[in-house]
Amino acid sequence: VRIAETIAQVREILLPERRAGRRIGLVPTMGALHEGHYSLIKKCRTECPVVAVSIFVNPLQFGPNEDLDAYPRPIEEDLAGCEEQGVDLVFRPQVAAVYGDSILTTVQVRELSEPLCGEHRPGHFDAVATIVAKLFNIVQPDAAYFGEKDYQQLVVVRRMVADLSLPVQIVPCPIVRELDGLAMSSRNRYLSDEERQQAPAIFAALRAGAEVIARGERDARAVIVRMAERIRAGGATRIEYVSIVDPRTLADVAEIAGPVRLCVAAYFGSTRLIDNLGVDAGGSEH
Ligand code: AMP
């Protein structure tokens, strides 16, 4: 695996690949790689002869009271993992290599950035859209791989690409879970043993929601109440939101008449976890 720390190095390494017309795939990450990330890398490998992975903990997408400093950065393990996966290029810049002294330009995907996580993390999706746009311009990938784990991020990025006519194909990838259903996340390592035992309650609640819909419930409010009860019973310290939204607009749905996305953010101890599940009106999950 070749490692680039500057934009110039990325361009130099990828220039011959681009000239040779080889398809370049990008997997943007914040590192602390796990099987969720590796599933994106594997999918990218099957579709692209050149696989680039970015590892960048983007400070601008963290709020003032969030875990920027505590965020895990096991770079040697990550590089070994990328090597093992046959990644061609890892871009792991320092903050200054990406932003210089400052940045005055941002990309904002209105509306889609406002509900769900956006309501609780002001400015988060502007920072996400901006760094993703920058990474697309730095790497100029033909395709980029995003996990449904961060469903709102996927929707925001897709819309940015459509609105700005960016020449990159966005490839969504399914959520990878632990055996007990907990969605894999770099933040799971913050959980105490007890919290780790409790955290699968989030997925249990999503499944319970899907089940209630399968049994014919059409009132989103009633499904949300049922899901919130399950999360609370599972030991969550705090529920940030339980929402049922339109999978394209992310607007709250009152009556479940077509495909919806069940979305949850909840704290176990001081660790904030998110998860989601696609459900159609018949209750089948996707
Ligand atoms: P992160 O490093 O958390 O910014 O995630 C980088 C990419 O990996 C994003 O597109 C995430 O949605 C994706 N990802 C993270 N966890 C998972 C997971 N459990 N399953 C699938 N994709 C994931």
Please report the atom of ligand 1 found closest to the CA of residue 30.
Answer: 2
pLDDT reading at 281 higher than 90: no
For 92-184, list the strands marked E by DSSP. 143-147, 169-173
pLDDT for the residue numbered 98: 98
Q: Which one has a higher pLDDT value, 286 or 45? A: 45
Nearest residue (CA) to ligand 1, atom 6: 29
Please report the atom of ligand 1 found closest to the CA of residue 184.
Answer: 19
User: Residue 173 has which token pair?
Assistant: 């990838």
Nearest residue (CA) to ligand 1, atom 12: 147
Q: pLDDT tens digits for 76-86?
A: 999 999 999 99
Please report the atom of ligand 1 found closest to the CA of residue 31.
Answer: 2
Residue 175: CB within 6 Å of ligand 1? yes
Euclidean distance between CA atoms 270 and 44, whole angstroms: 34
Nearest residue (CA) to ligand 1, atom 11: 147
pLDDT for the residue numbered 140: 98
Q: What percent of the chain has pLDDT over 90?
A: 98
Task: Give the strand pairing for 24-29 and 2-4.
Answer: unpaired
Distance from residue 216's CA to the centre of ligand 1 (Å)? 32
For a mutational test of ligand 1's pocket, the pick from 26, 27, 29, i.e. the residue with the most ligand atoms closer than 8 A to its C-beta, is 29
pLDDT for the residue numbered 282: 84
Distance from residue 36's CA to the centre of ligand 1 (Å)? 6
Write down the pTM of the prediction. 0.98
Which amino acid, one-letter code, is at 221?
R
Catalytic residue chosen out of the listed positions 37, 120, 124, 286: 37
User: Residue 97 has which token pair?
Assistant: 């290599």
To the query of whether residue 37 is one of the catalytic residues in this protein, the response is yes
What is the number of residues in the chain?
286
Which amino acid, one-letter code, is at 180?
D
User: Residue 27 has which token pair?
Assistant: 């997997």
Q: pLDDT tens digits for 153-196?
A: 999 999 999 999 999 999 999 999 999 999 999 999 999 999 99
DSSP-derived secondary structure for 46-68: HH-SEEEEEE---GGGS-TTSST
Residue 132: CB within 6 Å of ligand 1? no
90 HSE (CA, 13 A, CB side): 24
> How many Cβ atoms from other residues are within 10 Å of residue 201's Cβ?
23
* CB-neighbour burial class of residue 34 (10 A; exposed 0-12, middle 13-18, buried 19+): middle
Looking at every residue in the chain, the average pLDDT score rounds to: 98
170 contacts 157 by C-beta, under 8 angstroms: yes
pLDDT for the residue numbered 76: 98
| CB contact burial 270-281 (16+ within 10 A = b; e otherwise) | ebbbbbbbbbbe
Distance from residue 89's CA to the centre of ligand 1 (Å)? 18
Which amino acid, one-letter code, is at 181?
G
Residue 276: CB within 6 Å of ligand 1? no
pLDDT reading at 286 higher than 90: no
Residue 40: CB within 6 Å of ligand 1? yes
pLDDT reading at 221 higher than 90: yes
